[in-house]
Structure 1
Amino acid sequence: MKIDYLTPEDAALVEMGRRLARVRKQQGFSQIRLAEEAGVGVATLCRIESGQDGQMASWLKLLKGLRMTAAIDTLLPETFDSPMAEVLFGAKKNQKARVAEPGIRWGDQIE
């Protein structure tokens, strides 16, 4: 299942829990071993894998335990290049450049 902005939060949590369980198993971790490695309780890991709400700190610990810290940066990158933001920022910059000189009213500019 693809998670996007239309995905209900509860469905996204269930999907994220499934993905976490899949990665855990692919890396050969039992729930007990990953919980110990990450420093969280087994019950916490079970709740997260079942799609129940989990604290961000628990998710960070689990991703670190799985050696997936790159996923943290992917989730919320330090810098975010948005073409739309660049277009909007460029338009604002151009508007500032078009401010009339003192004593000149719009429509009176000399070309």
Structure 2
Amino acid sequence: MTITHLMTDEAVLAELGQRLARVRLSQGITQEQLADAAGVSKRTVQRLEDGTPAQLANLIRCLRALGRLDALDVMLPSDGPNPIDLLERRGHPRQRARPGVAEPAPAKPWTWGDEQ
């Protein structure tokens, strides 16, 4: 199943848990073995695979133990700074985001000024 923005948080967690379980099973590793290798409890692995909310650090430990930590780089790639922004900011990368600037009020229709 593809994870999309239309899915609920619970559905996304469940899908990630199923994927974690498939990777673990494809490597022939039990939940207990993964827990030992990752330095977490077996219950933590069960929670992750069940789609129960868990700490991100525990997911990272499990991915590292499975040799799949690089999957996070695909999930959130490191984007370089926009070249135009660097030119406008004289080589300094953006540090903050500003809220959108309000659009100006629509202009009144042009008139000659002698209409009454």
TM-score, length-scaled by structure 1: 0.70
CA 28–80 in structure 1, closer or farther in 2 if over 3 Å, else same:
farther
After superposing on structure 2, the runs of 4+ consecutive aligned residues of structure 1 that deviate more than 4 Å are none
Structure 1: how far apart are the matches of 2:60 and 2:80?
20
Which structure carries more helix by proportion? Answer: 1
Distance of 1:80 and 1:2 partners within structure 2:
26
- 1:13 maps onto 2:21 in alignment: no
How far has the Cα of 1:8 moved from its partner? 0.6
Alignment partner, residue 30 of structure 2:
30
Counterpart in 1 of 2:40? 40
Gaps of 5+ in 1: 94-111
Cα RMSD over matched residues?
2.0
Deviations 1:8-51 (A, max 9, x none): 10011011101100110001110000010011110011011011
1:69 is paired with a residue whose SS is coil
Q: Which amino acid aligns with 1:17?
A: G
More displaced 10-residue stretch of structure 1: 68-77 or 17-26: 68-77
Count of aligned pairs: 87
Gaps of 5+ in 2: 89-116
